A and B are shown apart, each in its own frame.
Chain A
Amino acid sequence: MENNKKYWKGFDELTNDIEFVKKAENEFPDFLPLAEKDENNNTSRRDFLKLMGFGMAAVSLAACEAPVKKAIPYLNKPEDIDPSIPNYYASTYFQDGEYSSILVKTREGRPIKIEGNTLSKVTKGGTSARVQASVLNLYDLARIDSFMESGKKVKMNDLDKKVLAALQSASSTVYILSQTIISPSTKAVIADFAKKYPNTKHISYDAVSAYGILKANEKSFGTYAIPTYDFSKAEIIVSVNADFLGTWLSSIEYGNQYVQGRKINKENKSMSRHYQFESGMSLTGANADYRVAIRPSQEGIIVAMLYNEIVGGANTSAISDKNIAEKVKKAAEDLKAARGKSLLVCSSNDVNVQVLVNAINDNLSNYGNTIDISKPSYLKQGNDEEMTKFVEDLKAGNVGGVIFYGANPVYDYPKGKEIAEALKKVAFTLSFADRLDETAKLCKFVAPDTNYLESWNDAQPYAGQFSLAQPAITPIYPEGTRQAQDSLLKYAGSNTTYYDYLRNFWKNNIFKGQNFEDAWIKALHDGIYEANALVAPQTETKDTTSSDKKVEKKQDEKTQTLVASTSFKGDASAAASAVAATYKADNNKMELAIYQKIGLGSGAMANNPWLQELPDPITKATWDNYVCVSKSLANQLGVATGDMLKVTLGSNTITLPALIQPGQQKNTISIALGYGRSAAGKCADGIGQSAYPMVAFKDGSLMYAAFDVAVAKSEGKIEIALTQTHQTLMGRGHVREAKLTEYTKNPKVIREKYDVLIQTSEGLKKPTEITMWKGHEEAYNKNHWWGLAIDLNACTGCGACVIACQVENNVPVVGKQEVINAREMHWIRIDRYYSTDADLDDKSVSGYQKMEEASENPEVVFLPVMCQHCNNAPCETVCPVVATTHSSEGLNQMTYNRCIGTRYCANNCPFKVRRFNWFNYTNDEKFITVNFMSQSDLGRMVLNPDVTVRSRGVMEKCSLCVQRIQEAKLTAKKEKRKIKDGEVKVACQQACSVGGIIFGDMNDPESEISKVIGVTKNEKKDIVLGEERAYHLLEEINVKSNITYLAKIRNKA
Chain B
Amino acid sequence: MQVTSAIREPLVTGGKTMHDITEDICKRVEEKPSTSWMIAFGFSLVLFVIGAISLAQTWWYGIGVWGLNKTVGWAWDITNFVWWVGIGHAGTLISAILLLFRQKWRTSINRAAEAMTIFAVLCAGTFILMHMGRTWLAHWALPLPNTYGSLWVNFHSPLVWDVFAISTYLTVSLVFWYVGLIPDLATIRDRAKMTILENPYSPTDSHLERSEKRKKRRDIAAFVYGFLAFGWEGGAKVWARYEYVALILAGLSTPLVLSVHTIVSMDFATSVIPGWHTTIFPPYFVAGAIFSGFAMVLTLMLVTRVVYKLEDYITMEHIELMNKIVMLTGSIVGVAYITEFFIAWYSGVENESYAFINRAFGPYWWAYFSMMACNVISPQLFWFRSIRRNLIWTFVLSIVVNIGMWFERFVIIVTSLHRDYIPSSWTYFRPTIYDVGDYVFTFGLFFVCFFLFAKYLPVINMAEVKTVLNSSDEKAKAKALAHLATGGAEPMKASPSYDKGIE
Residues of chain A at the chain B interface (Cβ within 8 Å): 724-726, 728-732, 734, 818, 821-824, 829, 831-833, 843, 845, 848, 863, 865, 874, 877-882, 898-904, 906-908, 910-912, 914-920, 924, 951-955, 1033-1034, 1037, 1039
Known contacts A882-B153, A918-B68; A953 and B134 CB within 8 A of each other: yes
Query: A residues within 8 A CB of B361?
Result: 845
Q: Which one of B152, B159, B163 contacts A878 once the chains associate, using CB atoms below 8 Å? A: B159
Contacts of B351 in A (CB 8 A): 732
Complex contact B133–A916 (CB within 8 A): yes
Leading 4 A-B pairs by shortest Cβ distance:
A901-B133, A953-B133, A918-B64, A822-B69
Q: B: which residues have CB within 8 A of A? A: 61-64, 67-71, 73-74, 131-135, 137-138, 140-141, 151-154, 156-160, 163, 267, 270-273, 350-351, 353-354, 357-358, 361, 417, 419-428
In the bound complex, what is the Cα–Cα distance between A951 and B137 (angstroms)? 13
Q: Across the interface, which residues of B come within 8 angstroms of A730, CB to CB? A: 354, 423
Query: For residue B428, which residues in chain A have a CB less than 8 angstroms away from its CB?
Result: 725
Interchain CB contact under 8 A, B137 and A900? yes
Contacts of A732 in B (CB 8 A): 350-351, 421, 423
Pair A881/B423 contact, Cβ less than 8 Å: no
Chain B residue contacts of A843, Cβ below 8 A: 350, 353-354, 357
Determine the chain B residues whose CB is within 8 A of the CB of A882 once the complex forms: 151-154
* Cβ distance A947 to chain B, nearest Cβ, rounded Å: 19
- Contact partner of B73 among A874, A907, A920, CB < 8 A? A907
B68 CB contacts on chain A under 8 angstroms: 903, 918
B357 touches A845 (CB 8 A): yes
Tell me the complex Cα distance, A1040–B68, Å.
28
- Interchain CA distance A877-B68 in the complex, whole Å: 22
Instruction: Give 5 pairs: A residue, B residue, CB < 8 Å, sorted on A.
Output: A729-B423, A833-B423, A878-B156, A901-B133, A916-B73
| Least distance between B248 CB and chain A CB atoms (Å) | 31
Residues of chain B contacted by A821 (CB below 8 angstroms):
64, 67, 69
Contact A877 to B423, CB < 8 A, known contacts A910-B272, A917-B133, A919-B64 = no
Q: Which of A863, A914, A920, A955 is in CB contact (< 8 Å) with B62?
A: A920
Given contacts A732-B350, A823-B70, A902-B132, contact A912 B425 (CB under 8 A): yes
Given known A-B contacts A904-B157, A912-B70, A899 and B354 have beta carbons under 8 A apart = no
Min CB–CB distance A869 → chain B (angstroms): 16
- A822 to B137: give the CA distance in the assembly, Å: 26
Main secondary structure of the interface of A (DSSP, over half): loop
A903 and B133 contact, CB distance less than 8 A: yes
**A789 to B137 Cα, complex, angstroms:** 38
Across the interface, A874 reaches (CB within 8 A) one of B64, B272, B353, namely: B272
Residues of B within 8 A of A874 (CB): 271-272
Which of B63, B140, B420, B427 is in CB contact (< 8 Å) with A881? B140
B172 to chain A, nearest CB (A): 22
Among B134, B138, B152, B427, the residue within 8 A (CB) of A952 is B134
Known: A824-B70, A878-B158, A953-B63. A901 touches B422 (CB 8 A): no
List of A residues within 8 angstroms of B71 by Cβ: 822, 912
Q: Is the CB of B134 within 8 A of A881?
A: no
- Report which of A865, A908, A914 forms a contact with B422, defined as CB distance below 8 A: A865
User: Could you tell me the distance between the alpha carbons of A678 and B152 in the complex, rounded to whole angstroms?
Assistant: 55
Q: Can you name the residue of chain B whose Cβ is closest to the Cβ of A907?
A: B73
Residues of A within 8 A of B422 (CB): 734, 831, 865, 910-912, 1033
**What residue of chain B has the Cβ atom nearest to residue A872's Cβ?**
B272
Smallest beta-carbon distance B369→chain A, Å: 14
Among candidates B70, B135, B159, residue contacting A904 with C-beta atoms closer than 8 Å? B159
Q: What chain A residues lie within 8 Å of B156 (beta carbons)?
A: 877-878
Distance (whole angstroms) from the CB of A925 to the closest CB of chain B: 11
A-side contacts of B420, CB under 8 Å = 910, 912
Smallest Cβ distance from B60 to chain A, in angstroms?
10
Q: How far is the CB of B159 from chain A (nearest CB, A)?
A: 4
Instruction: Supply 14 further A-B pairs (C-beta < 8 A) apart from A829-B424, A833-B423, A1037-B421.
Output: A821-B69, A831-B424, A865-B422, A874-B272, A882-B154, A901-B134, A910-B272, A911-B425, A912-B425, A914-B70, A918-B64, A919-B61, A919-B62, A955-B133
Expressed in whole angstroms, the Cα–Cα distance for A879 and B271 within the complex equals 12
Please determine whether A907 and B132 come into contact, CB atoms closer than 8 angstroms.
no
**Chain B CB within 10 A, most for which of A907, A916, A1034:** A907
What residues of chain A lie closer than 8 Å to B353, measured between beta carbons? 843
What B residues does A903 contact at CB under 8 A?
68, 73-74, 131, 133
Closest-CB distance, A623 to chain B (whole angstroms): 16
Q: Is the CB–CB distance between B157 and A848 below 8 Å?
A: no
Closest Cβ of chain B: how far from A797's Cβ, in Å? Answer: 12
Q: Are A908 and B74 in contact (CB under 8 A)?
A: no
Q: Are A900 and B134 in contact (CB under 8 A)?
A: yes
**Residues of B with C-beta under 8 A to A881:** 140-141, 153-154
A900 neighbours in B (Cβ, 8 Å): 132-134, 137-138, 140-141
Contact at B132–A726, with CB atoms within 8 Å?
no
Other-chain residue from B163, B273, B423, B424 in contact with A907 (beta carbon distance below 8 A): B273
CA distance A729 to B153 in the complex (A): 38
Across the interface, which residues of B come within 8 angstroms of A728, CB to CB?
Answer: 423
Contact partner of B134 (CB less than 8 A), chosen from A879, A911, A954, is A954
* Chain A, residue nearest B69 (CB): A822
- Please indicate which of the listed interface residues B354, B423, B427 has the most CB atoms of chain A within 10 Å of its own CB: B423
Q: Which of B131, B272, B350 contacts A902 (CB 8 A)?
A: B131
Contact B271 A878 (CB under 8 A): yes
How far is it, in angstroms, between the C-alpha of A843 and the C-alpha of B419 when the chains are bound? 16
Q: Which A residues touch B163, using CB under 8 A?
A: 880
Q: Decide: B134 and A899 in contact? CB cutoff 8 A.
A: yes
B154 touches A907 (CB 8 A): no
A901 to B133, CA, bound (A): 4
- A922 CB to nearest chain B CB (Å): 12
Contacting pair A1037 B153 (CB below 8 A): no
Indicate if the CB atoms of B424 and A724 lie closer than 8 Å: yes
A920 and B133 CA atoms in complex are apart in Å by 11
Contact (Cβ within 8 A) A924 B61: yes
Q: Of residues B62, B63, B70, which shows the largest number of chain A Cβ atoms within 10 Å of its Cβ?
A: B70
CB of A698 to closest CB in B, whole Å: 40
Give A910 to B273 CA distance when docked, in angstroms.
7
Inter-chain CA distance A919–B159, complex, in Å, is: 23
Closest beta carbon of chain B to A329's beta carbon, Å: 36
Task: Find out whether the CB atom of A907 lies under 8 angstroms from the CB atom of B74.
Answer: yes
Instruction: Give A833 to B424 CA distance when docked, in angstroms.
Output: 8
Report how far A397 CA is from B408 CA in the complex, Å: 75
Residue of A nearest to B162 (CB): A880
In the complex formed, the residue of A with least CB distance to B134 is A953
The CA of A899 and the CA of B132, in the complex, are separated in Å by 10
Return chain B residues, CB-CB under 8 Å to A731.
350
Residues from chain A with a CB closer than 8 A to the CB of B69 are: 821-823
- Determine the distance from Cα of A878 to Cα of B161 in the docked complex, in whole angstroms: 10
**A878: which B residues are within 8 A, CB to CB?**
156-159, 270-271
**Least Cβ–Cβ distance between B126 and chain A, in angstroms:** 15
How far apart are the CA atoms of A1039 and B422 in the complex, in Å? 15
Chain B residues with CB under 8 A of A911: 421-422, 425
Give chain B residues whose Cβ lies under 8 Å from the Cβ of A824.
70
Contacting residue for B70 out of A734, A822, A863, A910, CB 8 A: A822
Chain A hits for B141, CB < 8 A? 880-881, 900
Does the CB pair A848–B357 fall under 8 Å? Answer: yes
The distance in angstroms between the C-alpha atoms of A734 and B423, with both chains bound, is 9
**Contact: A898 with B140, CB < 8 Å?**
yes
Q: How far is the CB of B131 from chain A (nearest CB, A)?
A: 7
Give A732 to B353 CA distance when docked, in angstroms.
Answer: 13
Q: How far apart are the CA atoms of A962 and B336 in the complex, in Å?
A: 46
User: Which chain B positions have C-beta within 8 A of A920?
Assistant: 61-62
* A880 and B354 contact, Cβ closer than 8 Å, known pairs A911-B422, A920-B62, A924-B61: no
Given A729-B423, A907-B73 in contact, is the A880-B137 Cβ separation under 8 Å? no
In the complex, A903→B137 CA distance in Å?
Answer: 14
In the bound complex, what is the Cα–Cα distance between A829 and B425 (angstroms)?
A: 10
Q: Once bound together, how far apart are the Cα atoms of A952 and B68, in whole Å?
A: 15
- Tell me the minimal C-beta distance from A985 to chain B in angstroms: 26
